[in-house]
Amino acid sequence: MKKCALLVILALLLTSCIAGASTEKVYVIEIEGMVTAGTALHVENGIEDAARMGASAALIKLDTPGGLVSATLDIVRSIDNSPIQVITYVSPRGAIAASAGTYILLAGDVAAMSPGTTCGACMPVTSDPMGEPKPADEKTIKFLMAYIRSIAEEGGRPVDIAERFVTENLALTSSEALEKGIIDIIAEDVPDLLGKMDMADAEIYTRERTLRDDVIDLLSNPQIAFILLLVGMYGIIFGFSSPGTYVPETIGAICLILALYGLGTFDVGVFGMTLIIAAVILFIAEALTPTYGILTLGGVICLILGALMLPQEPLLPEGWFRTFRLIVLGMAGASAAFFIFGVSAVIKTRRMKPTTGAEGLIGETCKAYSDIDPTGIVRIRGEIWSAESTDGIKEGDIVEIVDRRGLTLIVRKVKKR
């Protein structure tokens, strides 16, 4: 009996272990708002994390009006090269996958939408000199039409409908998209979607956006990049027109670096290295031309931003990243502390009353060494000084030194109490 009981217990344990080991995982990556370089980085890192943790699928949850072409191409490339299944899902109710969002939706191995959502309207637009939007040139339209057609062909979706998204600005509701074969499933929410895919028991993980993702997302917004470009140019112009403060030049240089990245001049790795090099240059400049910490503060900002961008090697251990961040923050904090201490010391020194020379005598008292009416002499600290006063001072009277004029001390009689 005991042997039978042991066998039953072992069988149950083995069964539970096998069941636990076979539990599927789904990694959710959310895209909300404009598609930017930060969004592309968020999706790329999310798919890599999902594959690394052994997830069965990465689920990209969409609610976007569109975004940058370069970022959209990067996201589609990440989906195409994903080692695991990628599900694209327009959700919740009222969400849209317009323009760039439709390309991402079609790229999924499985495409789904919630009821009450919309996709399509992919015609590329540009603006005329008056700022009015209008359809882009024929070359751009043909390229994007061919691109969405290739995505549709790859996923076995109707090519003619995909082309109409670009050429006619076609938009479809979830039911229309399902009817025309653009999507595979309509589901109320993520659990409902996974249930319809026979993955109801899957564990759901949601990727949290990092500070790095948010910073890149902000900088890669064309409006923000343009504003930073203007601030950078004006900062440098004002710096050259009123040299000496170093504030406009420092702000201008930092804003220009941020703007150049936002406009796509270099990738995120080069961006991080550029910021760190700029930080070093600013620290050296502060040492050579003290500016009461202005350049140091700029260096601290560049150092922290640069550290957020670097490094992003997926094979490095997590502890290394934490150590690296602590080192960078420690260096930034030490630089800021040095800046605060240096400025405080300079201000304190400037406010201190002189203790040597004639200025150090002001406020002290001594005896008149002769009559002072209006001129005479005083003796202080073993030295004889010419003195001047309008008080009619007699020899031996106690006087207070109130000022100096050249080599003559200005004194006044101290009244006896």
User: Catalytic site residues?
Assistant: 99, 139
**CA dist list (Å): 9 to 16, 17, 286:** 11, 12, 72
Largest CA distance in the chain: 127
Q: Are 71 and 37 in contact (CB under 8 A)?
A: yes
Two tokens, residue 282: 């600013």
Task: Measure the CA angle with vertex 274, ends 270 and 276; round to 5°.
Answer: 120
Q: Are 177 and 183 in contact (CB under 8 A)?
A: yes
Q: How many residues appear in the chain? A: 417
The backbone region for 125, taken as left when phi is positive above 0, alpha when psi lies in -120 to 50, beta otherwise, is beta
Q: Are 90 and 62 in contact (CB under 8 A)?
A: yes
Pairing of strands 57-63, 25-32: parallel
Cα 402 from Cα 156, distance rounded (Å): 95
Cα 34 from Cα 220, distance rounded (Å): 10
Two tokens, residue 127: 């603006």
Cα 162 from Cα 62, distance rounded (Å): 18
Q: How far apart are the first and last CA of the chain?
A: 114
What single letter denotes the amino acid at residue 124? P
Which parts of 289-372 fold into alpha helices (H)? Answer: 294-309, 318-351
Q: What is the DSSP letter of 91?
A: -
